Copies of this chain bind each other. A is one copy, B any other.
């Protein structure tokens, strides 16, 4: 079924202990779309500048991602420069140039208005709510956010949260948003804000899914080498929402599988710089890695 993502498209310059890359295609909507495209057709609403060329566009068209909602504005595309050190658990931002993203006002093409599955990437909660209100009949709306908005636009974020079904967020931000350091208490508090489904991303430790009355813990796959963690969280969300949109099944069992598919896609993403690994996948590889997660987590009573 139709999956719509609203978020950033960027050029990233990244340095990690394993190497560096300059001005490679990135951004939340990019990672999300490419990951989700292995499961279901994806529609993207984002903005790029005049420097966004045919070869960049081809990355999306090669994955059959619908870019009718990809606006081209006068100016330059969003640029981010960051670095990861040591165990690479945290990105250190060196430079951010919002460029055309600064004035981003998401325009939803009319053909997108019937989208059933929606991911509101990490942007200003005012814009997230604006988009949400244009899609009143969406079956499942998920939202990502971050410390910047939790701190700076708290009231606006609360309104956006009250209007969505799923929050996908980092562990530290779940604690910050809820004011509880205990994750279980944090989850209860966040579910009261609106989203009945909470997915907490814990980096190399995996992810937790909190639904009504149930908690699921997805393991992190110990990888031999993590080259570049950039985009892992959005890739995770792409696998999660892609699987849900593909199956149309919102049962507890299928939500759990979706968290594993998100983990599968994120585990691929970090193996190479940028989108590299995500573009060279096939359904067999995705299925095999799902089975690796199954082997990793399985035990008998």
Contacts and interface: CB of A to CB of B under 8 A. Distances in A.
Contact of A219 (B219, B223, B225, B226): B219
Given A206-B217, A217-B220, A182 B296 contact: no
A192 interface: no
A296 B223 contact: no
Contacts of A301: 257, 290-291, 294
Contact of A294 (B187, B296, B299): B299
Nearest to A214: B295
Interface residues of A, number: 40
Contact of A181 (B87, B182, B218, B224): B87
A216 B296 CA distance: 5
A111 interface: no
A206 B299 CA distance: 14
Interface string A284-301: 000000110011111111
Contacts of A202: 205
Contacts of A297: 216-217, 219, 297, 299
A86 interface: yes
* Stoichiometry (number of copies): 2
A54 B232 CA distance: 57
Contact of A222 (B205, B208, B218, B224): B208
A256 interface: yes
A185 interface: yes
A277 interface: no
A118 to B, nearest CB: 24
Interface in A171-219: 181-185, 187, 202, 204-206, 208, 214-219
A74 interface: no
B223 A184 contact: yes
B253 A299 contact: yes
B257 A300 contact: yes
A169 interface: no
B291 A224 contact: no
B205 A205 contact: yes
A290 to B, nearest CB: 7
A-B pairs, top 6 by smallest CB distance, nearest first, are A217-B219, A256-B299, A205-B205, A184-B222, A87-B181, A217-B296
23 contacts: A86-B181, A182-B225, A182-B226, A187-B222, A205-B206, A208-B222, A214-B295, A215-B222, A215-B296, A216-B297, A216-B298, A217-B296, A218-B299, A219-B219, A253-B299, A256-B298, A257-B299, A257-B300, A259-B299, A290-B301, A294-B299, A294-B301, A297-B299
Given A187-B222, A291-B301, 11 more contacts: A182-B223, A185-B224, A202-B205, A215-B222, A216-B299, A217-B222, A217-B296, A219-B297, A256-B300, A257-B300, A297-B297
